Amino acid sequence: MDEINELITEAKNGNGDAFEKICAKYAGLISSMSRKYSDMCQSHRGDNEDFLQEAKMAFYNATMTYDTENVNVSFGAYAKVCIRNRLISCVRMLNSKKRQKSELCEKYSDDSLQDDVLKKELGKKMMQLADDKLSPYEKKIFMFYAAGQKAKEISANTGKSEKSVNNAIYRIKSKLKRTVKDDT
């Protein structure tokens, strides 16, 4: 097993340092792909931050789902396809929203723009809180949960029992609520 496969195995087992090392090795890929697809999106041209975040989430999912036993596909190629697919979906969604702009402009007020900014900031804060307050196992579960997966899917992806995943989700929610409550 080569170094990257060892790091992937460790990351799947909840080792955050291993995942950070993988991210560092592939930072160029993540960054260049997010820039490329950001430029393709008419409404977000030059605003790379959203695409960078999507690329990072796709990279995380690629790390967690990569089969280290598969000798036919390198991790880099697999990650690139996962990132590309997710970013293409983002471009399509955002470009279709642009086509609907005339309808949305009438409904979109300054208040809703502020709400969008607030939601984005809250999302960033929740990710930071998760990083600071959760155990490695809880972080792993949180990333799947934040990506919209249900406990049953997370259980299948992690190899943990559904009960263990549900317990982790309960602990995560409790910790994050308690932290947010303490901050206010």
- The structural domains of the chain, ordered by start, are 1-106 (1.10.1740), 109-184 (1.10.10.10)
- Please compute the mean of the pLDDT values over residues 45-67 and round it to a whole number: 82
Residue 46 — very low, low, confident or very high, per pLDDT cuts 50/70/90? Answer: low
Note whether 30 and 83 are within 8 A (CB).
yes
Residues 6+ apart with CB under 8 A from 37: 51, 55, 84, 87, 88, 90, 91
pLDDT at 176: 77
Residue 167 predicted with pLDDT over 90: yes
- Please compute the mean of the pLDDT values over residues 3-14 and round it to a whole number: 89
Higher pLDDT, 108 or 34: 34
Token pair 């939601």 in the structure block, residue: 119
Percent of the chain clearing pLDDT 90 (strictly above): 9
pLDDT at 109: 47
Question: 75-78: long-range contacts (C-beta < 8 A, 24 or more apart)?
Answer: 75/4, 75/5, 75/8, 76/26, 76/29
Q: What are the C-alpha distances in Å from 114 to residues 111, 120, 180?
A: 5, 10, 20
- Please compute the mean of the pLDDT values over residues 86-103 and round it to a whole number: 69
Least confident of 73-82, 103-112, 169-178: 103-112
Residue 161 predicted with pLDDT over 90: yes
- Please compute the mean of the pLDDT values over residues 5-20 and round it to a whole number: 88
Name the token pair of 50. Answer: 């959203």
Averaged pLDDT of the chain: 79
Report the chain's C-alpha Rg in angstroms.
18
Note whether 54 and 38 are within 8 A (CB).
no
Residue 184 — very low, low, confident or very high, per pLDDT cuts 50/70/90? Answer: low
| 69-78, 121-130, 172-181 — most confident range | 69-78
- Please compute the mean of the pLDDT values over residues 12-21 and round it to a whole number: 88
